Structure 1
Amino acid sequence: MTKLLSTIQKTVILAGIVMAAQGCKIDIEPTDRYTEEAVWSNPANMELYINGMYNEFRTFQFGQFPIGYDNATDALTDIMKYTSTVAGNGTVNILATDASRVNAAGPMLNYWQAGYARIRRINEFLDGLAKYGKVDAVAKTQYEAEARFIRGYVYFWLVKLHGSVVLMENLDQYSNKNNPRASEEDCWKFVAADFQFAADNLPKEWDAAHTGRATKGAALGMLSRTWLYAASIAEYDKKQFNQDPLTGVSAGSATTYYQNAATAAEQVIALANEGYYALEANFANIFTNKSTREAIFKLDFVAPQITHQYDFGFTPPGDAPGQPMVYGVPTAELVDEFEMKDGTAFSWSNGTMAANPYTDREPRFYATILYNGASWKGRTINTQPTNSVEGLVEYGSTPEPRKTVTGYYTRKMLNPLVNDFMVYKSTQSWIELRYAEILLIHAEAKAKLNDLGAAATSLNMVRDRVGLPDVNPANATQMMNAIEHERIVELAFEGHRYWDLRRWRKAHTVLNDVRFTGHKVTPAGSGFNYEVISADNLDRKFTPALYYMPIYVSELQNNTALTQIQGW
């Protein structure tokens, strides 16, 4: 759809040539292509174009970025381990253990070219809409709001990666091929302005014919996420990791940006109070219920035209022996993070817990993790090494094990009712933004504003949904520890952990010079023994330079005003 304009321009249209009686030529419409006016004055064309631009969200569905594999971003962190050791299926492991793989010649974590191609298409749409759009004022403003919502999302990713990027607001800027980077603070403000405009001009909900389009709530949710990121950089970066004059956010802006994040989140909460959003009573159902009110913005799939292969990539091999890839599996670090159902922290030093580690855990554990003894699709999962179908394989002992290397399999987002995914693929929705995240954003922003009461209220709404007792941390530090824990277990495998560690500037400690683990389960008397094993054969590496990704050398050659991020 996004290539509509170029496609139309190539269409040959037969037409007569009008000449003046005296034989003099007059100005005529070109006869071998549509003019811009002809394209943009047709409301049907605008509808096709804006629909096509929503394809950009598929770049990031199921945490695919940066390498096109589901959950790849989480596999760079402490909550997931990819099983393969070879380039392709195991590229994420190579990136996680070799920081030198990210460089200006081929940075791997790259979205620059694709992102700016999309921004160009969006700006062409906005230009054509403004000049030639033949729709009423309300529709024109809504089209602009949708386009700016998508542009804000693209820039959100570019700024997360690079900090300082080139801001292209309109087509006039393209006449000058040399455009410099803007400051990171101005970049976050630009993203926020796009989302704010979208929030001001999009409806609270669309009619059935426009299901899936961005709404006021989606724009406010992305606005709150944007300000939280900007505030985090302002608080935590402090120019410790990069001396580029254009990266970083003024520390003095942190309070304002946290307040902005809280305000936007509160507007989403107000929409929830009006009935537009709600926490799903059954946590597992969120990800398979296409009508869940927890989803604020999501991508839907309909077989056979639009599908994905999440189940093929992550389902336990017993679902279709010899066929699922088992790209990634949960780490022991994630498993141990889930509390007991009474809110007690899980601990292997507690004899009762250690003897039966998978008993009486909180509901999100059972909705997220498949473990030895778990009931799944009418069978009992067996991860003991002696099991030939689903038993643990030591990481690195075979290039493509297609089995767990940690003793666990993912459960979250798999469809427990579908067994024919190898033939028909999968259709669960990808939820880009959901209500629980908004509550956690609000809790974090309020904690940073030292409003611990409001922070606890939002945090405990997330906990109350799964029957966990309220927490009331005594100070902001304890509150942030509680929020980080909650984000780990609530948002696992939704593509947040890597970016959280980066914005909190904790990645260079949590993800560096460390190996993550699994649990090997073997029989012991009437029970089992749980041995901690390494799921990595090399130390993880995250250097401070990775907080700001390099720009492709070819882009610097194409734009002489563009300078490389310092440190690369």
Structure 2
Amino acid sequence: MKLKYSLILLASAAFASCQDFLDRYPLEEPASSEFYSNEDELTLAVNGAYRSLYWLSNDDVPYQLFIDGATDIVYIRGTYANMTDMRRGEGSAETATFKTIWDTFYGYIARCNNLLDNMHNARGRVSETFYNRIEAQARFLRAYNYFYLVNLYGDVPFAEHVLDWQQPRLPKSPKAEIVARLYADLDFAKDHLPAKWTGNDAGRATRGAAFGLKARIALYANDYETAAAAADSVIQSKAYEIYPSYEKLFRHSGAGSSEAMLYMPFLLGTQTNQIPKYVGTRLANCYSIIVPTQVLVDMYQCTDGRRIDRSPAYDPKKPYENRDPRLGYSILYPGQWHAGYKFEVHPDSTKTSAVINGETVRINNTEVTNAYGTFTGYIEKKYYDESDVPGKITQCELNFMLMRYAEVLLTYAEARIELNRIDQSVIDAINAVRQRKDVMMPAATLSMSRDELRELVRYERTIELAMEGFRLLDIRRWKIVEHVLPGYMLGKRTKADWYTPVVPAFSDYGKPEYPDESIFQKLGFASFNRDIQYSWPIPQAEIDRNPLLKD
């Protein structure tokens, strides 16, 4: 049975996770005295731990797509995942999403610890190589879960073993201490995982993924030495390369490419996702729920490598021309064709064009006439493959990438810039991303100053990784949350000012600022709340159970 089946099907049936991980012993676990004693049982157990990769909403939409809704680059209609409240600084320790996410990660950590605590039963019964690879995968997956916990919540309880049911409560451990323990897990993992899995094992964590996760954890801990070294190990391995087409990277053809280092697999009959339903246009019978913002659109440079307020190539009457090609590959903007429909959002565009049975016809434009069409005037194109038949909108098999080589290159470049160790390797890393064959933005050069390179690599992280779940944690570690989130979320233009040319200015923190925001519909005001927007509060229900979690 292939790993894709194993991860999705077997794991969901085995090893029920401990939802109240910090409060009680997982009584549902198999008898440790008998289990974990042979290759089949260890494989089943580690496949259960791989469920860690499936951080999903109720409709099987990856939370990475929702979490950008807590930032300036994505708007989420309604109350989905409470992200709009978080962006506005309105959450609290009672917010349900905080507890749901907390329980999810600790539940998966419990699975990993259960395996690690009991796999000794198999010593002498399986080969040392097999045994070490099982342990390496479990430690990798535990580190993956802790990465999110420490970066979303800050200091949290750290458990490396299944808790004693008589003394289940743990105090918080400082983030720095947890990070050091995660390094140890990932060092073990990289020493025992293969560079590549083959056959039925393809898709498991690799040595490169272990280095990549270590680089990511270190970058978010501002440990630039470790981040640069770990990222460089991935680069020097030459195991990965940039996929030539950004446009196709997030379709079936690119999802399993040599750029994908770790991914969330989906398969019809076992587990599918509804990403297209949430991001797609109403014209394609989708919901237009998770949508890009005007701020994100205006962040894309012009083809000369300059911001739109600085570039002579920018024409506010034709705002989508002469722009970084990733804009058109990532975001559906007015006038584009997608999924057989012409996307138009002007209030008077109650009709639009569609290709039906090979002919172009006029149809009702539900993206305008439906009250729940896109509120920003844009649609996300990532992870919507137009080749999928309509039925795949709610049963999508497109893998979701959790780590890709472009991120590692940008981590290496940023870490070296922050260390002020700028050489040609830094420039090459940036340009490998920036000059993908179907992107070809102007190259970075060694003549650029450190501040210019820092601004450029932050631009690349924002644009290259847009709508992939990195923005919230990036603006936190860059310490710019209070400078980019407060204010109104801007929706579609008002009808009276639909065609009014406007060129935003940009703040020192890269935020587009408009001379007259009244030309836009308003989608809610965000206030800065450090207690929510720099780290999420530990759920009150957990504090009530465990007083050691109080500040």
Same fold (TM over 0.5): yes
Partner of residue 436 from structure 1, selected from 406, 411, 414: 406
1:361 match: secondary structure: coil
* Cα 1:459/1:349, change in 2 over 3 Å: closer
Residues 367-409 of structure 1 show CA distances to partners (whole Å, capped at 9, x for unaligned) of 111111112234321121122355776xxxx9x8331222211
* Cα 1:34/1:279, change in 2 over 3 Å: closer
Gaps of 5+ in 1: 8-32, 232-256
Alignment check: 8 A CA contact 2:36 2:45 kept? no
Counterpart check, 1:384 vs 2:349: no
* Cα 1:100/1:406, change in 2 over 3 Å: closer
Alignment check: 8 A CA contact 2:283 2:367 kept? no
Partner of residue 490 from structure 2, selected from 517, 539, 543: 517
CA distance in 2, matches of 1:261, 1:62: 34
* Cα 1:557/1:375, change in 2 over 3 Å: closer
Partner of residue 307 from structure 1, selected from 247, 272, 288: 272
AA in 2 matched with 1:77: T
CA distance in 2, matches of 1:511, 1:6: 39
* Cα 1:330/1:178, change in 2 over 3 Å: closer
Alignment check: 8 A CA contact 2:143 2:185 kept? yes
CA distance in 1, matches of 2:43, 2:226: 32
Give the corresponding residue for 2:281.
316
* Cα 1:549/1:379, change in 2 over 3 Å: closer
TM-score normalised to structure 1 length = 0.80
Cα displacement (A) at 1:53: 1.4
CA distance in 1, matches of 2:404, 2:387: 23
Residues 63-88 of structure 1 show CA distances to partners (whole Å, capped at 9, x for unaligned) of 989xx76622111111111233xx4x
Give the corresponding residue for 2:257.
292
Cα displacement (A) at 1:116: 2.2
* Cα 1:6/1:338, change in 2 over 3 Å: closer
Give the corresponding residue for 2:65.
71
Alignment check: 8 A CA contact 2:302 2:308 kept? yes
1:437 match: secondary structure: helix
CA distance in 1, matches of 2:149, 2:176: 13
2:524 match: secondary structure: coil
Partner of residue 556 from structure 1, selected from 519, 523, 543: 543
The count of residues paired between Structure 1 and Structure 2 equals: 493
AA in 2 matched with 1:108: T
Deviates more, 1:473-482 or 1:222-231: 473-482
2:204 match: secondary structure: coil
Residues 12-41 of structure 1 show CA distances to partners (whole Å, capped at 9, x for unaligned) of xxxxxxxxxxxxxxxxxxxxx974232111
CA distance in 1, matches of 2:68, 2:385: 20
TM-score normalised to structure 2 length = 0.82
Identical aligned residues as a percent? 28
Alignment check: 8 A CA contact 1:64 1:70 kept? no
Give the corresponding residue for 1:248.
none
Alignment check: 8 A CA contact 2:218 2:227 kept? yes
Give the corresponding residue for 2:440.
467
Give the corresponding residue for 1:238.
none
Alignment check: 8 A CA contact 2:215 2:227 kept? yes
Alignment check: 8 A CA contact 1:152 1:191 kept? yes
Give the corresponding residue for 1:10.
none
Alignment check: 8 A CA contact 1:265 1:438 kept? yes
Give the corresponding residue for 1:447.
417
* Cα 1:508/1:6, change in 2 over 3 Å: closer
Give the corresponding residue for 1:542.
528
* Cα 1:544/1:165, change in 2 over 3 Å: same
Report which of the two structures shows the higher radius of gyration computed on alpha carbons: 1
* Cα 1:390/1:483, change in 2 over 3 Å: farther
CA distance in 1, matches of 2:316, 2:117: 63
Cα displacement (A) at 1:93: 2.2
CA distance in 2, matches of 1:308, 1:51: 19
Query: How do 1:270-289 and structure 2 match up within 5 A?
Result: 270-271=236-237, 273=238, 276-288=239-251, 289=253
CA distance in 2, matches of 1:172, 1:70: 29
Which consecutive segments of 4 or more residues in structure 1 shift more than 6 A?
Answer: 61-65, 521-524
Give the corresponding residue for 2:23.
none
Cα displacement (A) at 1:474: 3.5
AA in 2 matched with 1:76: A
Give the corresponding residue for 1:27.
none
CA distance in 1, matches of 2:16, 2:420: 53
CA distance in 1, matches of 2:494, 2:328: 18
Give the corresponding residue for 2:108.
118
AA in 2 matched with 1:40: Y
AA in 2 matched with 1:259: E
Alignment check: 8 A CA contact 1:303 1:424 kept? no
CA distance in 1, matches of 2:213, 2:64: 22
Partner of residue 45 from structure 2, selected from 46, 49, 65: 49
Give the corresponding residue for 1:342.
304
Alignment check: 8 A CA contact 2:215 2:230 kept? yes
Cα displacement (A) at 1:421: 3.5
Alignment check: 8 A CA contact 1:227 1:258 kept? yes
Cα displacement (A) at 1:452: 2.4
Residues 159-188 of structure 1 show CA distances to partners (whole Å, capped at 9, x for unaligned) of 112221111112476653232221221011
Residues 461-506 of structure 1 show CA distances to partners (whole Å, capped at 9, x for unaligned) of 2111121111236433322211111111100110001110112221
CA distance in 2, matches of 1:329, 1:278: 29
CA distance in 1, matches of 2:385, 2:317: 30
CA distance in 2, matches of 1:492, 1:6: 34
Residues 195-227 of structure 1 show CA distances to partners (whole Å, capped at 9, x for unaligned) of 222112110011211121100111110000000
Cα displacement (A) at 1:349: 8.6
Cα RMSD between the aligned structures? 3.0
1:459 match: secondary structure: helix
* Cα 1:228/1:548, change in 2 over 3 Å: same
Gaps of 5+ in 2: 1-10, 18-28, 351-363, 503-516
2:474 match: secondary structure: helix
